[in-house]
Amino acid sequence: MTELRTYFNEQQDAMVALLTKMIEHETFSIDKPNVDRFMDFMVGEFEKAGAQVTRHEREEVGDIVQATWQADAPGQPILLLGHADTVWPEGTLAERPVRIDEDGRLYGPGALDMKGGLAIALFAIKGLLDRGELPNRPIHYLLTTDEEIGSKHSQQIIEDMARESGLVLVLEPPTADGSLKGWRKGTASYTLTVTGKAAHAGNEPEKGINAIIEFAQQALVINELNDLKMGTSVCVNVVHGGMATNVIPDHLTASIDVRVMSQQAKNKIDAAFDDLHPFIPGAQVKVEGGHYRPPMERNDAALKQVKNIASGVGMSVHDDGAGGGSDGNFTAAIGIPTVDGLGPEGLGLHALHEHVIINSMPRKATLIAAILRDWED
């Protein structure tokens, strides 16, 4: 076992203690007061670790915090990217307090997604500082507060900081088998609106234009856009229409979830939606796009270097991908080498059994520290 791995093994209890404190701050995305209190805590932790801290205020979500080490160093910066917000509302902690089972799994709301990653990344930096091995380059740690609700309030600062960086390390959890996330699908949401004409269902049904019947035919066309072998999924998941059993429905809306492996696939879906035409004379059909995270396409060179660095500290790492997006999608889409899934291992994303495997924390802290120390631009 290398000296670096031994060092972080000795920090395991301290990592668990910090993670526990993090989880005990509830940080539901839309609960700004609680999220801001957590950010107060993190500012203190960053400052204790010698960082220069900048707080970017936000009105609707928690403030974003940027911690920087060696701001004036000559090397190209590396950006560590994580989010503080979780999907769990206030009160969840009282129902599911932090606990550690006999198999060494730490349970708690937000443990895996993604406070475990936040904790080990801070320890990775502190370890390099303690060992005198921090590289001669700026290290930025950006902690956002709205990833779980689309990153609308943080996307711009994420992209701005990424453009100044040579590498982005995303602190999200790995895949279920512990692999890094070398790619992620792009995620897009759309709203389909169908407009018909109301009429009395008993007296004058022939004078109506049934929005539901029009939608049913459109849904079959949309379903044909699926190309699962190529990683494209198009799913009509929520439908609202009709007002009473005796009224021909004149309006319907449907929410559509789209996942793609490439921007080219996304463009193909957009073109197909633009080409939808009504089946029923007089009906109107419109598709509007909403939130979009572009695909995080695989960067072979970055992953190869990460694997070589891991080998140098006695570790073997693998990579896979994920159907869900992260803030790494934004950084990869603007051409910055991005590696995701650097958080500790565990299971239960957004689920009641969410947990971190404790003995994976030192290993992943070692990997983050080694990448920071040994990365070559």
Q: How far apart are CA 246 and CA 250, in angstroms?
A: 12
Contact 146, 152 (CB under 8 A): yes
Contact 151, 157 (CB under 8 A): no
End-to-end CA distance of the chain: 27
Residues in Cβ contact with 29 at an 8 Å cutoff, skipping those fewer than 6 apart:
35, 61, 85, 86, 87, 145, 146, 147, 148, 149
Q: Sheet holding 251-260: strands in order across? A: 233-241, 251-260, 186-195, 284-293
**Would you state the structure tokens that stand for residue 135, as one six-digit string?**
């590289």
Write the Ramachandran bin of 108: left for phi over 0, alpha for psi from -120 to 50, otherwise beta: left
The reply to whether 57 belongs to the active site is: no
**What DSSP element (H or E) covers 111?**
none
Where helices occur in the chain by DSSP H, the ranges are 3-9, 12-23, 32-48, 92-95, 116-131, 155-163, 211-223, 263-274, 300-312, 328-333, 360-374
* E-state strands within 185-261: 186-195, 199-200, 233-241, 247-248, 251-260
Active-site residue, from 63, 113, 147, 327:
147
Closest C-alpha to 258, from 282, 293, 285, 229: 293
Does residue 375 sit in helix, strand or coil? coil
Residues in Cβ contact with 3 at an 8 Å cutoff, skipping those fewer than 6 apart:
none
Residues in Cβ contact with 114 at an 8 Å cutoff, skipping those fewer than 6 apart:
82, 83, 171, 172, 173, 343
Active-site residue, from 26, 45, 85, 297:
85
Q: How far apart are CA 319 and CA 327, in angstroms?
A: 18
The reply to whether 85 belongs to the active site is: yes
Contact 353, 215 (CB under 8 A): no
Q: Which residues are catalytic?
A: 85, 147
